Chain A
Amino acid sequence: GAGVSQTPSNKVTEKGKYVELRCDPISGHTALYWYRQSLGQGPEFLIYFQGTGAADDSGLPNDRFFAVRPEGSVSTLKIQRTERGDSAVYLCASSLLASGSSTDTQYFGPGTRLTVL
């Protein structure tokens, strides 16, 4: 079946602009995660959704970042007043179970490469 998909694959914007990044999780996966991967670094956790609600947004760097998942499937990460330091690859992952069990594997999408000029 289809994996996690993310659109757009690349986004170039200017400092101060607003951007939206979209994630389509694997069908039936209730848990959805956003991570940010800066150049030369591992992914860093941003936010976790269980269903429609953000169960943990402790990784969001500041209030310019916001994410929604209104119907419990597709999620959108929104960044206001973008800054050059926001340039990174934004990864989305989904998992079937949110129980933290041994089989709660997170499957990653290809990411959206955001460049802020």
Chain B
Amino acid sequence: QKEVEQDPGPLSVPEGAIVSLNCTYSNSAFQYFMWYRQYSRKGPELLMYTYSSGNKEDGRFTAQVDKSSKYISLFIRDSQPSDSATYLCAMSAKYSGYSTLTFGKGTMLLVSP
């Protein structure tokens, strides 16, 4: 079993839909949770960052963390065709003052006009 599990999709939705993306993890040492967006042939770009259980909102994006269930989610409201990309969840634990990221496989999202 991988440390971070993420459904690769693809997930196809019409423009304006609410999108829900999810990851589960097994390592209790993970303390920081991130969502990255990756367009085709580009590097990952940080969307959201959180370190506590609960919700964090930023514009159309809401990140949710449930540490007791080891489950994180990203919600996208009013999805746009420009949101079509691969969404990667990433997690980190602190080791001697630095952190490396453990990623999920990524979920490919397709938003059709």
Q: Which 6 pairs of residues, A with B, have the shortest CB-CB distance?
A: A42-B103, A108-B43, A100-B94, A100-B99, A45-B100, A98-B98
Binding site for A on B (CB under 8 A): 4, 6, 8, 32, 36, 41-46, 49, 51, 88, 90, 92, 94-106
CB pair A45–B98 under 8 Å, yes or no, is no
CB pair B6–A31 under 8 Å, yes or no, is no
Nearest-CB distance from A42 to chain B (Å)?
3
A-B contact count (CB 8 A): 69
CB pair B8–A40 under 8 Å, yes or no, is yes
Contact residue among A33, A42, A91, A113 (Cβ-Cβ distance under 8 Å from B100)? A33
* Interface: A44 (CB within 8 A): yes
CB pair B95–A111 under 8 Å, yes or no, is no
Nearest-CB distance from A9 to chain B (Å)?
9
Given contacts A42-B4, A43-B101, A111-B43, 15 further A-B contacts (CB under 8 A): A33-B101, A40-B8, A42-B90, A42-B103, A44-B103, A48-B98, A55-B98, A56-B95, A100-B92, A100-B95, A104-B98, A105-B49, A108-B36, A108-B45, A110-B43
